[in-house]
Structure 1
Amino acid sequence: MPAPSLQADTLPHPLDEPLRWTGGAAPRLLPYGSALFPAMQQAIEQARESIWLQTYIFHTDEAAMTLASALCDAARRGVQVRVLVDGLGSSRSVEALSGRFTEAGVEFMVFRPWRKWLDVVQRGRWRRLHRKLCVVDAHTAFIGGINLIDDRLDIHHGWSAQPRLDYAVQYHGHLARQTQWVMQRLWLRTVLTGSLQRRLRKLPGPGVFDTSPNRRAYWQELLDWGSDMPVADEDGAPLPPSSATAAAPRTPAPRPTPQTLAQSLAALVVRDNFSQRRAIEHSYIRAINRARDRVLIVSPYFYPGLEFRQALKNAAARGVRVELLLQGRIDYRMAAWAARALYGEMLRAGVHIYEYTPAYLHAKVAVVDVDWATVGSSNIDPLSLLVNLEANLAVLDRAFALELGAHIESQIAQSLPINTPDRLRTRAPWWLRPFVAVAARAFVALAGGVKNEY
């Protein structure tokens, strides 16, 4: 089979908007927190103007507190530092972080504080901030699935001998500026919508309605921020403000194609509950639809909708080798049941399934052929694809895709293949599929997602 070439999508989804591909990002793969945290700390220590950080979990272990100290030091030397954490994922550490950050001058805020049992059954409260993003000086950025917690520590299961399998990416240039724009949009919205709640519950974060100067500062920042994401020219450099509007296409354009395999393009793909509800899901489907050789998907929580599953089956039917690396060491029983409920369907279609057993699996990455890859926070399940705020980096870069693919293949070599009737039967009894289908529909409805996908 000839090596796949870099071409525009041949089977685009009719509802998918083209991604904003940008050159000059120079993506660098960072496997595990052991690679991410030192790189992030170095960038924070070199910051001169601003640091934006948004994450699901910001824990209080040594690895996380080292980064917290670096953020505090940056704020003390005059750098603007803004940290937004999720109210559920970081619920155990909000109090400790708030005291430390407030004393240092870090602007710290909690996204949708969790009210324990009251929020479990309240519709829409499961829409969490699940992104893991950091931007320094609007030039250096980090994205991935890695929370700010030691690789070997799990909040619910304690310490492990082996680190979780997870990935992040460091990138630069105009794409980092676009990432900061997305982060600032969420910050401004959270400041406004949560101001009264923070005041009543004495939670950390700016209060827009506290004083007139606060109100004026907020509205001025909102005006300065603008409503359109910064655009770039063909080389990835920002366009002047006067030409940005004129350069924006009025109709969807096809995905740009690198002229050579040495060229690297990248795009930020976010999922929100406004205009980008299905962006990450559609980016996966478009890539799978154009696959000619292989599809490698790594996800700890796997329960995609009908269209996603059909794309995988279609790829396998046309001779593409489709491999799924899923969790073998279970952290959440219901999530494992959901994935295993689909084992029979996937295996009958010719998809290869492996369970990662050396440690907990937390990576959310994929490689298609030798040119397309994605790394981010989005699982392939209803929470991530239909409910949570997520962020992935899509990359058109042969060297990057080959590096990530090789790393995934080394993990598959250590994993358990689901390739015998006994292994399938013990993981997916007859009652599991209908039970999971009913539970998934009920949960998606409670969380505020699209019920008919499951």
Structure 2
Amino acid sequence: MPLPAFAGSDHRIKLLQGSQEFFPALIAELDGAQRDVQFETYIFSTMGEGASVAAALERAARRGVRVRMVVDGVGTGRIAEPWGTRLVQAGVQLRVYSPLGPLGLLLPSRWRRLHRKLCVVDARVLFCGGINVLDDFEDPYRGRLEAPRLDFAVQVQGSMVAYACAVMDLLWLRMQAVHEVRRRQLAHALQDWRAAQALHRLRARTPRQGRGVRAALLLRDNLRLRTRIERSYRRAIAQAREEIIIANAYFIPGGKLRRALVLAAERGVRVHLLLQGRYEYFMQYHAARPVYGALLAAGVHIHEYAPSFLHAKVAVVDAEGARPWATVGSSNLDPLSLLLAREANVMVRDAEFARILRARLMQAIDGCEPLAAQTYANRPWHERVLDRIAHVLMRVALWVTGKDY
């Protein structure tokens, strides 16, 4: 049985926007760490301010804190020098999730990535969201950006943190067991595997009923937690009565999620989508656009973010209503996130948090021109051709993986 989703009402949660808010909060906790740091990220870049996070991890390890760090084999691969060597020499225990072999991404099994961004310090505080260790003003392919990318994370204290610790320990022990098998250290591998199995049977402690914020940590993996994040979105959309705001970098929803949004708009709910307005990647940019037509026809408001790159994966529903709901996490609403990658989202039911997130999103939306249905219908023919090619390629890739979306 998998680790269950965790929910409780004793949490303190702070919204962090961009690396400019996230990095100082993270570094402060790393510099205060006394025993243990667990760290997972998709991209670990030491460009710009990313080096300050690397330096904080190095300082923690040098003063005797156990630092376990997992980076993705595609998003990061090998950490750029000299930081790769400096971190290991300081005592950081570093693992690369699913390194690319000689065939790289030609193997569909390599499409399953570690995309979640989690950090737990001293089993006391959790960071979760969409923000990589990547300076908001730096782009690995385009250099210095004129404006920071838009992204969010949360800083959490409460009983959810113990569950996050168990989740991260479970992945570490499984990776460690695989590492030992490759080194033919079978006795050590068996020991690690048994420890992983013990965590696999763990149940989160009984949720505390306190005076804090009601929140849950939801995961997506390729075993038993395949649809939990998507089902949470669909449930919140179905229960919406006043307003839905979704900001998502790579928005290619499946049929069920699209229908949920259309039905919400048709029953009078205000639906605002803040989506990527800048060209970043061919597939993500062009494969998203064929789904816009049905949404616009139903009355959904689509705003394409253009000041910089949009990287957020957040949503807020009925912030001013009786049952406010919000989420901040790593999961895009596209096939890679919802069908293949390991993801983590924090779901929050709290009026104050929902209002704060809504205000940040509305500020971003106010700076965007809404996409008119007529403008979408009259886009140039070559864009429509590229949109269709990308959509077909996506369907072929899903067929190769055997996934139904």
TM-score bracket for this pair, using the shorter chain length: over 0.9
Check whether the contact 1:302–1:326 (CA below 8 A) recurs between aligned residues. yes
Deviation track 1:279-331 (CA, whole Å, cap 9, x = no partner) reads 11101000000000011000111111100000000100110011100011111
Quote the Cα distance in structure 2 between the aligned partners of 1:92 and 1:366: 33
Quote the Cα distance in structure 1 between the aligned partners of 2:368 and 2:42: 28
Quote the Cα distance in structure 2 between the aligned partners of 1:232 and 1:351: 40
Quote the Cα distance in structure 2 between the aligned partners of 1:218 and 1:420: 56
Provide the secondary structure at the position in 1 that maps to 2:171.
Answer: helix
Match of 1:409 in 2: 362
Aligned Cα root-mean-square deviation (Å): 2.2
Alignment of 1:89-168 (within 5 A): 89-91=75-77, 93=79, 96-115=82-101, 118-168=103-153
1:32 to 18, 23, 26: 18
Alignment of 1:165-314 (within 5 A): 165-196=150-181, 199=183, 209-210=184-185, 214-215=188-189, 218=192, 221-222=195-196, 225=199, 227-235=201-209, 264-314=213-263
Closer, same or farther: CA 19–210 of 1 in aligned 2, 3 Å? closer
1:387 to 319, 333, 340: 340
Provide the secondary structure at the position in 2 that maps to 1:25.
Answer: strand
For the pair 1:22 / 2:8, whether they are aligned, the reply is: yes
Deviation at 1:433, TM superposition (A): 6.0
Match of 1:81 in 2: 67
* Letter matched to residue 355 of structure 2: L
Quote the Cα distance in structure 2 between the aligned partners of 1:222 and 1:18: 15
Match of 2:395 in 1: 441
* Letter matched to residue 32 of structure 1: G
Check whether the contact 1:418–1:424 (CA below 8 A) recurs between aligned residues. no
Match of 1:332 in 2: 281
Deviation at 1:228, TM superposition (A): 1.7
Deviation track 1:47-79 (CA, whole Å, cap 9, x = no partner) reads 111100000000122422211121122122221
Check whether the contact 1:174–1:232 (CA below 8 A) recurs between aligned residues. no
For the pair 1:374 / 2:321, whether they are aligned, the reply is: no
Deviation at 1:94, TM superposition (A): 5.6
Quote the Cα distance in structure 1 between the aligned partners of 2:64 and 2:198: 21
Quote the Cα distance in structure 1 between the aligned partners of 2:377 and 2:23: 38
Deviates more, 1:432-441 or 1:31-40: 432-441
Quote the Cα distance in structure 2 between the aligned partners of 1:263 and 1:140: 15
Deviation at 1:96, TM superposition (A): 4.4
Check whether the contact 1:277–1:386 (CA below 8 A) recurs between aligned residues. yes
Check whether the contact 1:49–1:79 (CA below 8 A) recurs between aligned residues. yes
Deviation at 1:123, TM superposition (A): 1.9
Provide the secondary structure at the position in 1 that maps to 2:11.
Answer: coil
2:297 to 337, 345, 348: 348
- Normalised to the residue count of structure 2, the TM-score between the two structures is 0.92
Closer, same or farther: CA 342–120 of 1 in aligned 2, 3 Å? same
Closer, same or farther: CA 325–233 of 1 in aligned 2, 3 Å? closer
1:319 to 249, 253, 268: 268
Structure 1 unmatched runs, 5+: 1-16, 200-208, 237-261
Closer, same or farther: CA 442–44 of 1 in aligned 2, 3 Å? same
Quote the Cα distance in structure 1 between the aligned partners of 2:8 and 2:48: 36
| Paired-residue identity, % | 42
Quote the Cα distance in structure 1 between the aligned partners of 2:207 and 2:289: 45
Match of 1:206 in 2: none
Name the structure where strand makes up a greater proportion of residues: 2
Quote the Cα distance in structure 2 between the aligned partners of 1:417 and 1:363: 18
Quote the Cα distance in structure 2 between the aligned partners of 1:100 and 1:315: 52
Provide the secondary structure at the position in 1 that maps to 2:6.
Answer: coil
* Letter matched to residue 235 of structure 1: Q
For the pair 1:396 / 2:381, whether they are aligned, the reply is: no
Deviation track 1:9-68 (CA, whole Å, cap 9, x = no partner) reads xxxxxxxx9953212221100001110111011111111111000000001224222111
Match of 1:259 in 2: none
Quote the Cα distance in structure 1 between the aligned partners of 2:80 and 2:178: 19
Deviation at 1:222, TM superposition (A): 3.6
Deviation track 1:108-128 (CA, whole Å, cap 9, x = no partner) reads 000011236x12221211100
Deviation track 1:348-380 (CA, whole Å, cap 9, x = no partner) reads 111110000100100000001111000000001
